Amino acid sequence: MVGHGHGPGPVPGNGGKKLAEATLILPLLGAAFLMPAFLNLFTHRSRLFGLPLEVLYLFFVWFALVLAAFLVSRRLKSDAPSAAPERHAEHERPAGIG
Amino acid sequence: MLSPDLVILTAVAYVGLLFLLAYLSDARARRSDAGFLRSPFIYTLSISVYCTSWTFYGAVGTAARSGLEFMAIYMGPTLVFVGWWFVLRKLIRISHAQRITSVADLLSSRFGKSSHLAVLVTLIAVITITPYIALQLKAITTSIQAVSLAKSGGGLDDVQLALGVAIGMAGFTILFGTRNVDAREQHHGVVAAIAFEAVVKLLALIAVGIFVVFSLGGGPVAVFDRAMAAGLDIHEQAPFGSRWVTVLLLSACAVICLPRQFQITVVENSNEDHLRTASWAFPGYMLVMSLFIAPIALYGLATMPAGSNPDMFVLTLPMSAGHDWLALFAFIGGFSSATSMIIVASIALSIMVSNHIVVPIALRHSGNLEAAGERGIARLLLRARRISIAALLGLGFLYFLLAGDSNALAQIGLISFAGVAQLLPAMIAALYWREATLRGAFAGISAGFVVWAWTSFLPSFGTSAETVAALMREGPWSIRLLRPEALFGMEGLDPLVHSVFWSLFFNVTTLVFVSLTTSQGVMERIQAALFVDVFRRGAGAQPHLIHASVTTEELFFVAERVLGWTRAKAFFEEYDVPRSHGVESFVASPDFIAELERALASSIGSASAHILLSKVVAGDIITLEEVMRIAGETQQVIEYSHELEQTSQELRETAQKLREANALLHELHRQKDDFLSQVSHEVRTPMTSIRSFSEILLTENDLNAASRERFVSTIHRESVRLTRLLDEILDLNALEHGERSWDNVPVDAELVLDRAIAVCEALAQQKGMRIENGPRAARGVVSTDADRLSQVFINVIANAIAHNDAPSPRVRIESRIEGGNYVVDIADNGSGIPEEFRRTIFDKFVRAGRSAAGSAPTSGLGLGLNISYKIMEKMQGRLELVDMPRPGACFRLTLPLLRQPAEA
């Protein structure tokens, strides 16, 4: 249920753009799956593998979000400006305060 | 069981370890050797300052009391971090560009560098966070009591403990959190210590979890079974509802707005890309951290004696099993989470207090900057920060002292979240809504804060103060509609949901309504554009905010007060701005002033930096208006640049056309030069012979008649040639410029051709050759000038005769009607036109090689065919060289027949 929603995978061509959009769908989809309407589908007091179903469901959604964020963040192209070197230079300025 | 002394000693030793760690990291960083300190994982770990002792101990307590609600506290931040690309990334990008130092600075900077807004936000932060600090103190004292309870019987004095912890934390924070005034210079020591504490608390909780679940409980399933056997409900008591959503929302707000989170996530961030790792690693960290919470709570509830505090299960479960050292480790974990929160929160708050309250007051009330001396402002800042850290911890301690025993503290975590959540609407507006105004933000935050204080903060004292309890029952002045927990009669809701609903409702509606009814100042509009459009390309082009009616010496004076002489000097040198005496006339560029303002802002906040610079830079208001008039809103700027782009595209095209035209002109010019030099050459040859022969005639008196005759005839022949040449040039010129007009009349071209052949007959006989008549058209009436057409015929036939080098030369002439055209072929049996000339034979001065060898001086000037070609063109006809099976050259003349065949 969660799986198919955030598995865009690597998209050739304008994959960067699509992945950037995927980062918006992640929190929205995650929020949707955490709304009571969804959660209460799993609160009929049943156990799966000996564990309460709602606990399993919450951890499953959570884990899926982490995994998806991991995949997306690895493939998403950085558009960071040359901030890093600039800030680096800033640090090397004499910091004679202390 | 552990003795209190041992526990306290361990805590002190642990703090000592933190000192050492912070010291070493700072030293490393100062040697520019901070490589691993700036790794994304250190960054991620430091973000977990989010997990305070409230989550460390309290999560188990929450799980024991109200089920899975504790998970919402972690899942809100998870949603924010997996969506990092939208909110957090923008926040960090803006903060780096604008050198933002705190959440108050962010809002103040966005809304026109307003110092009032900064003060409001700072006050709200202090009011909401101080109880939170008190909560940490309470957690520490309670945990020390819990760990050492059994032996000493609770003989420790809570107050003394809390005071000791507060002083220790103040010492640490002052030592490592106020090493420099530049908030953008990261506190490497502090961050390293926080990251270390993050590891400790995670390991501690996991160790306890594994011990409880697997060693004591015999696996997770067994734990749940045992809980069921003990009569506990392992499932959610009530369906998930509005409280779950509210907690989710609040925790998501908190991870953005809490001053300590802002400090760590945004201000201490050294590289935007670290967010990439944190986006999954931080949610992962929280996931691992909460794995064992519910089993620990259930196992504790099932096995511990009734009435034991579930908040302390993490400590008491290992202890009751006799594992004191594990309990001590768990205590250190909880201690870590409490201290890291205290340290970072007090740093963040002290930066806000000093930048937004102390410095503006100092700047407004001391007109005398000279008195401050070098780095006077910097020293003032540091002192203010140290004092405010001490004061904040003092306040926290005071709160602990006053409310420590009541239930007020237990609830303060979420209440505090609800307080800082009042900043979120303004922050979202700051990032995404260009039209949001300062008044809107100010009013929205104020309204939300007031409602929060009334519905959430005040009731937290309900159990400890009788007046508050009465107020909650009856409402103020017995107005029941205003009861804090049933505002406007909204009863039956969870108090937290009730408070969050009303406060955010008033906050957002006020923000939107006031923003729509008020207008932005100039500075607001500029800042709004810079914030909202931070990702747009070219948005980096800062408008020049302050006009340069100031000498660099004055600027240096100001910079020195804040940055110190060394850094100010380095800064000025970096921008090549002279600053010594005698260069007063050097006027600083607006760019430089803007840069300087940002450099100062990273130390003292944007509002203070603006005030400070405005003090020395005179008359910037008019320029500001001017800037706005020119630039307008960014929208206009963008449209303008779009137009500019279009215009420049047109310019490029025009330039391209000009280039082409220029190339054509050059080509024509070259052709003219060629033509002139050819003509001169052609004229020179006959002139030379005329001159030399006439000189001979003049000087040699004893020439015989025959020679004289020969010379004179040569002179004559050459003059004729010269005249012909000049005629042809004139003719050509006239043709090219269309000067010579002729009348096109219906003419039978056959008759013209016959006449031309007759004229050429004599020439042919001279060379001893025949003109053969091939098949001829009966008649071909064309619209033309008979003389001109005749000229062309004669020229082509004469060429065929003159250049024919065959042993028995012949010229063959045919004519026919073909497809509405009158066509004449004039062919010879000579060697033909060499391949290399076939293309250019109709150009000026081109003579096929055989005659250019200079056989006969009269044998053509290279203009005849060119003239003929042009004439034919003028008559809508064609002159072309065609291939034929026989050797020799064949010229074909084509003329369109006259449309209606004339009767004649």
Average pLDDT over residues B754-783: 82
B295 with B213: CB under 8 angstroms? yes
Question: Which stretches of chain A drop beneath a pLDDT of 50?
Answer: 1-14, 82-98
With cut-offs at 50, 70 and 90, classify the pLDDT of residue B784: confident
Task: Give B730 or A17, the one with higher predicted confidence.
Answer: B730
Query: CA geometry: angle at B615 spanning B612 and B617, to 5°?
Result: 105
Residue B88 has pLDDT above 70, yes or no: yes
- ipTM comes to 0.73
List chain A residues with CB under 8 Å of B270.
Answer: 84, 87
What the block records as the tokens of B351 is 């930066």
Question: Residues 11 to 70 of A: which have CB under 8 A from any B CB?
Answer: 20, 23-24, 26-28, 30-31, 34-36, 39-40, 43, 45, 47, 49-52, 54-55, 58-59, 62-63, 65-70
Query: CA geometry: angle at B9 spanning B8 and B13, to 5°?
Result: 120
- CA distance, residue B31 to nearest chain A CA (Å): 10
Q: How far apart are CA A59 and CA B888, in angstroms?
A: 98
Selecting from B71, B96, B567 the residue whose C-beta is nearest the C-beta of A94 gives: B567
Residue B371 has pLDDT above 60, yes or no: no
> Nearest residue on chain B to A27, judged by CA atoms?
B79
Average pLDDT over residues B759-785: 82
Residue B502 has pLDDT above 50, yes or no: yes
**Nearest residue to B794 (alpha-carbon basis) of B734, B834, B752:** B752
Selecting from B79, B272, B283 the residue whose C-beta is nearest the C-beta of A80 gives: B272
CA distances from B580 to A16, B486, B550, B552, B567 (A): 51, 68, 14, 9, 16
Task: Give A95 or B571, the one with higher predicted confidence.
Answer: B571
Chain A contact present for B82, CB below 8 A:
yes
List chain B residues with CB under 8 Å of A68.
Answer: 82
Residue B153 has pLDDT above 50, yes or no: no
pLDDT of B363 reads: 73
Q: Among A59-63, A74-78, B303-307, B506-510, where is mean pLDDT lowest?
A: A74-78
Instruction: Determine how many CB atoms are found less than 10 A away from the CB of residue B159.
Output: 14
Residue B234 has pLDDT above 80, yes or no: no
Q: Give residue B744's identity as a one-letter amino acid code.
A: N
pLDDT tens for each residue of B676-726? 887 787 788 778 888 888 888 888 878 788 888 888 888 888 888 888 888
Q: How far apart are CA B851 and CA B281, in angstroms?
A: 91
User: What is the pTM for the complete model shown?
Assistant: 0.65
pLDDT of B588 reads: 64
Long-range contacts of B486-495 (CB under 8 A, 24+ apart): B487/B451, B487/B454, B487/B455, B493/B242, B494/B242, B494/B243, B494/B246, B495/B455, B495/B456, B495/B459
Task: Give B630 or B172, the one with higher predicted confidence.
Answer: B172
pLDDT of B697 reads: 84
Task: Give B472 or B181, the one with higher predicted confidence.
Answer: B472
Percentage, residues of chain B above pLDDT 70: 85
With cut-offs at 50, 70 and 90, classify the pLDDT of residue B3: confident
| Cβ distance of B79 and A93 shorter than 8 Å | no
Q: How far apart are CA B638 and CA B16, in angstroms?
A: 56
Q: How far apart are CA B265 and CA A89, in angstroms?
A: 21
pLDDT tens for each residue of B577-602? 666 555 455 566 667 777 777 777 77
Which of A55, A61, A92 to mutate against chain B (most B CBs within 10 Å)? Answer: A55
pLDDT tens for each residue of B404-438? 665 555 677 888 888 999 999 999 998 888 888 88
Q: How far apart are CA B275 and CA B277, in angstroms?
A: 5
pLDDT of A63 reads: 92
Chain A contact present for B185, CB below 8 A:
yes
pLDDT of B42 reads: 86
Residue B610 has pLDDT above 60, yes or no: yes
List chain A residues with CB under 8 Å of B30.
Answer: 95
Chain B contact present for A89, CB below 8 A:
no
The rounded mean pLDDT for chain B is 79
Q: Give residue A86's identity as a one-letter amino acid code.
A: E
Q: Which residues pair with residue B613 across a beta bridge?
A: none
Q: Which residues pair with residue B810 across a beta bridge?
A: B770
With cut-offs at 50, 70 and 90, classify the pLDDT of residue B374: low
- CA distance, residue A16 to nearest chain B CA (Å): 12
pLDDT of B627 reads: 47
Q: Using DSSP, state whether B103 is helix, strand or coil.
A: helix
Average pLDDT over residues B656-680: 86
Chain A contact present for B269, CB below 8 A:
no
Average pLDDT over residues B596-620: 71
B858 with B843: CB under 8 angstroms? no
Q: Which residues pair with residue B681 across a beta bridge?
A: none
B343 with B374: CB under 8 angstroms? no
